[in-house]
Structure 1
Amino acid sequence: MTLGELIAQAREALTTAITARQQEQDALLALRSDPDLTEDAVSARVATRDAADAEVTRRQTVLDGLLGEQAREEEIAVLSARVTPTGNRSPAYDRVGRVGVEERTYRQDKDRRGAAFERDVASAFLGDYEARDRLSRHMQEERVERGAQLEERAVGTGAFTGLVVPQYLTDMYAPAAAAKRPFADAIRGHALPAEGMTVNLSRITTATSTALQASENTAVSETNIDDTLMTFSVQTNAGQQTLSRQSIERGAGVEPVVLDDLFRRYATTLDSTLLNQATNGLTNVATAVAYTDASPTAAELYPKVIQGLSEVEAALLDMATGDNLAVMHSRRWYWMQNAMGSTWPMISQPGIVQQTLGANYATVYGNGVRGVLPNGTPVIVDNNIGTTLGAGTEDEIYLVDRQECHLWEDSNAPMYIRAEQPAAASLGVLMVVYGYFAYTHARYAHARKIAGTGLIAPTFTGV
């Protein structure tokens, strides 16, 4: 196999590796948009993408080596043509291999403005390997003919601002940060029914009764059971973005980036609705446990947490599952961690080391339970909780039974629509993300929230 055939084979292998790597990157971006993704799934996909990266690097190294070998062979051929043999009798004419004058890759007499060179610079940036080969040959020609000048007058990239093309690391773009859906992911999820715009539940509001029989053969207690219909609206969460066709077709990864951001906004809006919506949001259905203090401390706050949890259980009675949650803003969670103390609970709790006031699991934001309080209650950190409540700088802490906070979602939500016709006249592409959901925290009126001046913007003083 000739050197040229090896180079062609190496180019084809590199192109295949680049295509495979791009497919892995697209799959990774799509996975990150999945609201049900796990850290293990992301890690596995990143590992696959990195393996594809390594394969591209390996193939490029092989091709570069072959091109370097080819350039060296051409350089040797040019040099050999200039050598004048001395001291030996010249061989017969027909036994001498001769190299004629080879035309330069770029010739001023044929292309005075250098348009071919400029096209190849741009094409090489976009991945044209033949353009890269021509540029490589040109540099070898320059080294052969003007090597000394190139070495003596070496310059940096600053001298070629129009030719040193900036590189955009599209796989490392920085998404706009979002609070997303820590609370929504922690509560009890259900499949949304396929039809209808309301969800109806029956709640028993008048129970039966029993009592001690007054005497033999006398009537026993009887109370007619009765229920009340609870109706929850199916709501639509949606967003859109119109992109120019040029940005999609001439850009690098524009569409997946915009889609990822729409998914982030979708998750944030859903979670914020569960917490803050008028009438039905958690802040509006929870019964307040007041914590009023001009100089709040974590040690003073904790008894309010215990009070709230006791009221949650009292409201649920035998329907309490004990699967409680404390939901708070990140600033409140870190404020509680900053507190120092010399006293400990009188009653030990499962999973809590003695002489500690809770535990921090050191998980990242939005990745489930962040830690536990001194009595073992898991903590969910959610920055969709308001920080301008009450007096204007307060946040709130919510205490709920996880199993009594219900969220109905379509298993395929959020949906994605890509429509080209509505904006075809202006070369636009419309992207729409939407989904349906319903929720309730009030099947039983159990939720509690700690609120008041004791939850003003925290200062980290170690108390």
Structure 2
Amino acid sequence: MTLAELIAQARTALDTAIATRQREQDALMALRSDENLTEDAVTAQVALRDTADAEVTRRQEALAGLEAEQVRENELAALQARTVPAANRAPAYDQVHRVGQDERTYRPDQDRRGRQFERDVVAAALGDDYEARDRLSRHMAEERVERGNQLERAAGTAAFAGLVVPQYLTDLYAPAAAAKRPFADACRKHDMPAQGMTVNLSRITTSTSTAIQTENAAVSETDIDDTLLTFNVQTNAGQQTLSRQAIERGAGVEPVVLDDLFRRYATTLDSTLLNQATNGLTNVATTVAYTDASPTAAEAYPKIIEGLAGVESALLDMASGDNIAVMHSRRWYWLQNAMGSTWPLITQPGIVAQTLGANYATAYGSGVRGVLPNGTPVIVDNNIATTLGGGTEDEIYLVDRQECHLWEDPSAPMYIRAEQTKAASLGVLMVVYGYFAYTHVRYAHARKIAGTGLIAPTFTGV
């Protein structure tokens, strides 16, 4: 791998670290806006933000070191270009016989590969070697004398298809876009248990009781009972076979393929949490119907508030207050396009009363995108289906973030690189896999806004 490729990788790693740090900072700001926040939650988030900040510093220093090394390499190359071996120096003017014409500046018999010419071109391009410029000028004058008619014909690069080499900017390759895992990143994280293919939770379904006692009468008693909540550990995996020629003769082929596998892994995980039959969020959430042939953002907002009210009613004292709204990007922008002259009667902390919430102008997948008028953070996730209902509807989900549980291995996804299995065909098998489990129904609290009011939006300002 060249130094330039290492620098490109370091820049990509730095960009990723900066995005992660920004995501943790956004999460911290959203947490601080929650009036029910706890000091432990803030301290934990600050620690995450500081860890991400330290990673940015480390990546920045690594990039600076590589760039300094590149500067030094360029300096040495320029120094070498200015240094002509003594054996190649032309003899003094008064120490040679001259017969009819001067010697050429660049002579094939002294430099068959043209290395001196190449060094002079580089040195002249760097702008700090006037002798190199003089030699190149003399060379062009000599060319005009000997081959002036050919130079005047001005052949273009098309005349040298075998010499004008196409350049491929591998550091600027365009990955296939992916929806990735915005909702999964917002869920409450747990480490995957070391063993087993099911996860079991005890859920109290019959509670104890109290009542007003009649004097000398027995006090109220109800036997407590639980129901076992069981959900499966699932495997998310994908593979790709590459020829050894592609890996060994290509530029960055393996990292590109691995990056794409990681993107598909994240997208599949997130889509499963939202859309899987029976247990996906769309199938466990209670519907708040929004039916309207001419929907408007102003009409949709009260439905969102109704859904949030349902979340709190289901959780009661178990509500953390850490509610989020999860919606497709087209729905988020539709809410932003609305214009109006009215505003909520009750103001909310940090929200201008005359606006329909606030947009943080962050990139897709970077965490909280903004807040609704009542301060509820918005997660934008394009794994939400847009072909529901009559075929063009999406849904808005309202949940308590702390009751959306996701178990993952801390090192997931895993990567297997197997060469032996495909050795006979010079193939290399790349496999990405990971285990996960999830549940949104420890308490049946989730709500979704659904119906004809959420058909494909038209951006008309209402």
How far has the Cα of 1:73 moved from its partner?
A: 9.7
Q: 2:78 aligns with which of 47, 61, 64?
A: 64
Change (3 A) 1:145 1:347: same
1:78 Cα offset (Å): 9.0
Residue number in structure 2 paired with 1:103: 109
The structure number with the bigger radius of gyration is 1
Q: How does 1:147-226 map to 2 (within 5 A)?
A: 148-149=145-146, 152-153=151-152, 155-216=155-216, 218-226=217-225
Q: 1-side partners of 2:160 and 2:78: how far apart?
A: 23
Relative to 1, partners in 2 of residues 1:160 and 1:346: Cα closer, same or farther, differing over 3 Å?
A: same
Assess if the C-alpha contact under 8 Å between 1:31 and 1:37 holds in 2.
Answer: no
How far apart are 1:59 and its partner, in Å? 2.1
* Matched residue type, 1:339: A
TM-score of the superposed pair, with normalisation by structure 2: 0.79
1:414 to 2:413 alignment: yes
Q: Distance in 1 between matches of 2:436 and 2:16?
A: 18
Structure 2 distance, partners of 1:33, 1:265, is 18
Residue 297 (str. 1) matches residue 296 (str. 2): yes
Name the counterpart of 1:355: 354
Map 1:438-457; keep pairs closer than 5 Å. 438-457=437-456
Q: How does 1:68-147 map to 2 (within 5 A)?
A: 68-70=82-84, 74=88, 77=91, 103-106=109-112, 146=143
Q: For the residues of structure 1 that align with 2:363 and 2:313, how far apart are their CA atoms? A: 33
- State the SS of the aligned residue for 2:421: coil
Q: Deviations over 1:159-213 (max 9, x none)?
A: 3221111111111111110000000001100001011101100000000000011
SS of residue matched to 1:422: helix
Corresponding letter in the other structure for 1:64:
A
| Percent identical | 70
Kindly state the Cα deviation for residue 338 of structure 1 after the two structures are TM-superposed.
Answer: 0.4
Unaligned 5+ segments in structure 2 are 23-52, 100-106, 119-134
The question of whether the paired residues in 1 share the 8 Å contact of 2:202 and 2:228 is answered with: yes
Q: Distance in 2 between matches of 1:233 and 1:384?
A: 22
1:15-58: CA deviation from partner (whole Å, max 9, x where unpaired): xxx85554454566678899x95456468636743662464255
Q: Deviations over 1:202-254 (max 9, x none)?
A: 000000000011122x1100000000000110000000000000111111111
Shift of 1:354: 2.8
The 1:210/1:19 distance shift into structure 2, 3 A limit, reads: same
- Alpha-carbon distance change, 73 to 374 in structure 1, aligned in 2, over 3 angstroms: farther
The Cα of 1:140 is off from its aligned counterpart by 10
Deviations 1:325-345 (A, max 9, x none): 000000000000000011110
> In the alignment, what sits opposite 1:229?
228
Instruction: Write the letter of the residue equivalent to 1:178.
Output: A
Given that residues 20 and 366 in structure 2 are in contact (C-alpha distance below 8 angstroms), is that contact kept between their aligned partners in structure 1?
no
What is the CA distance between 1:312 and its match in structure 2? 0.4
What is the SS of the residue equivalent to 1:278? coil
1:309 to partner: Cα distance:
0.3
Paired residue type of 1:171 = D
Structure 2 SS opposite 1:263:
helix
Asked whether the equivalents of residues 353 and 373 of structure 2 are also in contact (C-alpha less than 8 Å), the reply is no
**1:280-429 correspondence runs (5 A):** 280-429=279-428
Q: Matched residue pairs, number?
A: 403
Root-mean-square deviation (CA), in Å? 3.2
Indicate how the Cα distance of structure 1 residues 290 and 172 shifts in structure 2: closer, same or farther if over 3 A, else same.
Answer: same
Contact 2:336–2:356 (Cα < 8 Å) also in 1: no
One-letter amino acid matched to 1:274: L
Cα distance in structure 1, aligned partners of 2:328 and 2:159: 52
Amino acid of the residue matched to residue 378 of structure 2?
V
Q: Which residue of 2 aligns with 1:127?
A: none
CA deviation digits over 1:433-461, x for unaligned, max 9? 00000000000000000000000000000
Question: Secondary structure at the residue paired with 1:352?
Answer: coil
Match for residue 125 of structure 2? none
Cα drift, residue 148 of structure 1: 3.5
Amino acid of the structure 2 residue aligned with 1:56: Q
The residue that corresponds to 2:30 in the other structure is none
1:445 partner SS: coil
CA distance in 2 between partners of 1:44 and 1:147 (Å): 55
